[in-house]
Amino acid sequence: MDWTFADNKVFENALAELGLECPNLVQKIALRFPEKSIEQIQEHYDALIRDVEMIESGQFDEKIHINNSGSTMSNNIVTQESSSLMINPSNVTPPKVPRKKPAFWSDHEHEAFLSGLEKYGKGDWKSISRFCVQTRTPTQIASHAQKYFQKLRKYANKQQQGVEAQSSEAKH
């Protein structure tokens, strides 16, 4: 049986609550997973310990990347270990996150956006989000910037057309 994202969270929380020195740790964790056998819990625990030991020994840095095949990649090292903790995107169920309804940008947020744009430049949406408009994600800021620049171009085009119309009228 695969370990879902939620299963892993329950497992991690159980380890944090009970502590690694808890007597009968695996059996106590197993009580939280009636659908899994003691052997599956033990394998999962052992895989976690191996992974932590590999990271602490320097065989992997803290940034472990997961590729589509479920193998772990770090610093161009690929291992195909049969660790049950390695995440395979096809069998992990992400948590359900309720979506917020889109909200209009406040004047304050827009002013902070313009300030961030001046300070960090076009394209550094992450910094603008982190330091200037903390109520919006980098993706939301990028979307706002796209609309803002479209509006500026549209306004500039209208201005240009107005100038051209006035100059052609002046010639006649």
- 5-91 and 107-171 share one fold: yes
Cα–Cα separations (whole angstroms), residue 76 to 51, 62, 67 = 17, 14, 12
Question: Exposed, middle or buried: residue 64 (CB in 10 Å: 0-12, 13-18, 19+)?
Answer: middle
Whether this model's pTM surpasses 0.75? no
H or E element at residue 74: strand 72-74
- CATH class of the domain at 107-171: mainly alpha
Q: Residue 75: pLDDT above 70?
A: no
Confidence class of residue 5 from pLDDT cuts 50, 70 and 90?
A: confident
Q: Using one digit for the tens of pLDDT, what is the confidence trace for 10-49?
A: 988 888 888 888 899 999 999 999 999 999 999 999 988 8
Enumerate the domain spans of the chain. Answer: 5-91, 107-171
Parallel/antiparallel/unpaired status of strands 77-79 and 72-74? antiparallel
Q: Residue 94: pLDDT above 70?
A: no
CATH superfamily of 5-91: Homeodomain-like (1.10.10.60)
